Chains A and B, each alone.
Chain A
Amino acid sequence: GAVVSQHPSRVICKSGTSVKIECRSLDFQATTMFWYRQFPKQSLMLMATSNEGSKATYEQGVEKDKFLINHASLTLSTLTVTSAHPEDSSFYICSAREASGGTDTQYFGPGTRLTVL
């Protein structure tokens, strides 16, 4: 149980295009999902917290107009990188917090490798 999927796993795009990444909790409902960014050999950097049916909360320094987050249902959140540039190339990882049982556990997706040419 507690599986989180991400799609796509890898994407290469041209500079200026937009890329959408999906995060799904497959066997549980997640009222809260989180989006992280990870650079090589570094820790995870939280970008935003996404709650179902409400606007995402962005961390300081993260451009909300560039990284659009939509949490349309209890099992799906999407991150859209708008007008991507080479500096947006990174490993993007989502996590989902299980809604029931009072658990604090976050389950992570497998990540999406974005390369912007």
Chain B
Amino acid sequence: AQSVSQHNHHVILSEAASLELGCNYSYGGTVNLFWYVQYPGQHLQLLLKYFSGDPLVKGIKGFEAEFIKSKFSFNLRKPSVQWSDTAEYFCAVNSNTNAGKSTFGDGTTLTVKP
């Protein structure tokens, strides 16, 4: 069974600080990895995804994530956060089997102080 673990439940940063949100997954086969963002009162939006190839993927709004297969990790990073990055961030995995259902982590609430 797939599982996803996000280590940080709530992160508080000042503007311009660097961000790294941890994500570890557990699955026996090949996975696809995603980060979604949910701004207050809004729906889930895809930030970035990894299927194969270069393990460093770049997404929208200056976010990037690195897939480290040996560590089963897919951490999200941003060198300099902005107040508008305040949101909930979800790591998710799916695979090409079991109809591709996604398994989400618990989410990390990011608060950026202006």
A and B found bound together: no
- Interface residues of chain A, those whose CB is within 8 Å of chain B, are none
